Amino acid sequence: MKKRLLLILTITTMTVILLAGCTQIEDEISKEEAQELVIEKHSGNIGNVEIKSIEIKNNKYIVEWENEENLERGIDEVDKKGNMKMIETEIE
Protein backbone atom coordinates (compact mmCIF):
# COMPACT_ATOMS: atom_id res chain seq x y z
CA MET A 1 0.00 0.00 0.00
CA LYS A 2 2.79 2.47 0.88
CA LYS A 3 4.64 1.69 -2.36
CA ARG A 4 1.50 2.30 -4.39
CA LEU A 5 0.82 5.62 -2.63
CA LEU A 6 4.44 6.68 -3.11
CA LEU A 7 4.26 5.79 -6.81
CA ILE A 8 1.05 7.81 -7.31
CA LEU A 9 2.52 10.77 -5.44
CA THR A 10 5.72 10.63 -7.52
CA ILE A 11 3.82 10.46 -10.82
CA THR A 12 1.57 13.34 -9.80
CA THR A 13 4.53 15.48 -8.74
CA MET A 14 6.42 14.79 -11.97
CA THR A 15 3.36 15.66 -14.05
CA VAL A 16 2.90 18.98 -12.24
CA ILE A 17 6.59 19.84 -12.68
CA LEU A 18 6.50 19.00 -16.39
CA LEU A 19 3.35 21.02 -17.02
CA ALA A 20 4.69 24.01 -15.09
CA GLY A 21 7.90 24.01 -17.11
CA CYS A 22 6.14 23.84 -20.47
CA THR A 23 4.59 27.27 -20.67
CA GLN A 24 3.72 28.28 -24.19
CA ILE A 25 5.50 31.21 -25.81
CA GLU A 26 2.18 33.05 -26.19
CA ASP A 27 1.98 33.22 -22.38
CA GLU A 28 5.21 35.25 -22.27
CA ILE A 29 5.38 37.34 -25.47
CA SER A 30 2.67 37.97 -28.05
CA LYS A 31 3.01 37.53 -31.78
CA GLU A 32 2.62 41.30 -32.21
CA GLU A 33 5.42 42.01 -29.72
CA ALA A 34 7.74 39.62 -31.57
CA GLN A 35 6.91 41.34 -34.87
CA GLU A 36 7.64 44.78 -33.38
CA LEU A 37 11.02 43.61 -32.07
CA VAL A 38 12.01 42.40 -35.54
CA ILE A 39 10.76 45.59 -37.20
CA GLU A 40 12.70 47.77 -34.73
CA LYS A 41 15.87 45.75 -35.20
CA HIS A 42 15.88 45.90 -38.99
CA SER A 43 14.44 49.37 -39.57
CA GLY A 44 17.01 51.89 -40.65
CA ASN A 45 17.42 54.95 -42.80
CA ILE A 46 16.29 53.22 -45.98
CA GLY A 47 12.83 51.71 -46.31
CA ASN A 48 10.42 49.98 -44.01
CA VAL A 49 10.48 46.39 -42.80
CA GLU A 50 7.45 44.28 -43.67
CA ILE A 51 6.66 41.01 -41.90
CA LYS A 52 6.04 38.25 -44.46
CA SER A 53 5.18 35.43 -42.06
CA ILE A 54 5.38 34.40 -38.43
CA GLU A 55 5.05 30.93 -36.98
CA ILE A 56 5.88 29.06 -33.79
CA LYS A 57 8.54 26.32 -33.85
CA ASN A 58 10.19 24.82 -30.78
CA ASN A 59 8.36 27.34 -28.57
CA LYS A 60 9.94 30.30 -30.43
CA TYR A 61 8.58 32.68 -33.02
CA ILE A 62 10.14 32.34 -36.46
CA VAL A 63 9.66 35.69 -38.22
CA GLU A 64 10.28 36.15 -41.95
CA TRP A 65 10.75 39.81 -42.92
CA GLU A 66 11.61 41.93 -45.94
CA ASN A 67 12.68 45.49 -46.73
CA GLU A 68 12.02 46.01 -50.44
CA GLU A 69 13.62 49.45 -50.60
CA ASN A 70 17.09 48.34 -49.51
CA LEU A 71 16.67 44.84 -51.02
CA GLU A 72 17.17 43.05 -47.70
CA ARG A 73 15.26 40.08 -46.30
CA GLY A 74 15.73 37.49 -43.61
CA ILE A 75 14.42 35.19 -40.93
CA ASP A 76 14.79 35.83 -37.20
CA GLU A 77 13.99 33.73 -34.16
CA VAL A 78 12.42 35.38 -31.09
CA ASP A 79 12.25 33.51 -27.78
CA LYS A 80 9.76 34.02 -24.97
CA LYS A 81 12.02 36.58 -23.26
CA GLY A 82 12.25 38.72 -26.40
CA ASN A 83 15.80 37.67 -27.28
CA MET A 84 16.37 37.61 -31.02
CA LYS A 85 18.67 35.45 -33.10
CA MET A 86 19.25 35.91 -36.82
CA ILE A 87 18.69 32.64 -38.67
CA GLU A 88 19.15 33.93 -42.18
CA THR A 89 19.65 37.24 -43.98
CA GLU A 90 20.06 38.16 -47.61
CA ILE A 91 20.91 41.38 -49.43
CA GLU A 92 20.31 41.42 -53.16
Which class for 38: exposed (0-12), middle (13-18), buried (19 or more C-beta within 10 A)?
A: buried
Q: List phi, psi (to 5°) of 45.
A: -75, -25
- Whether this prediction's pTM lies above 0.85 is answered by no
What's the residue count for the chain?
A: 92
Q: What is the mean pLDDT of each run of 10 residues along the chain (92 residues)?
A: 75 65 73 94 86 94 94 94 92 86
What ranges make up the beta strands (E) of the chain?
Answer: 50-57, 60-67, 72-78, 84-91
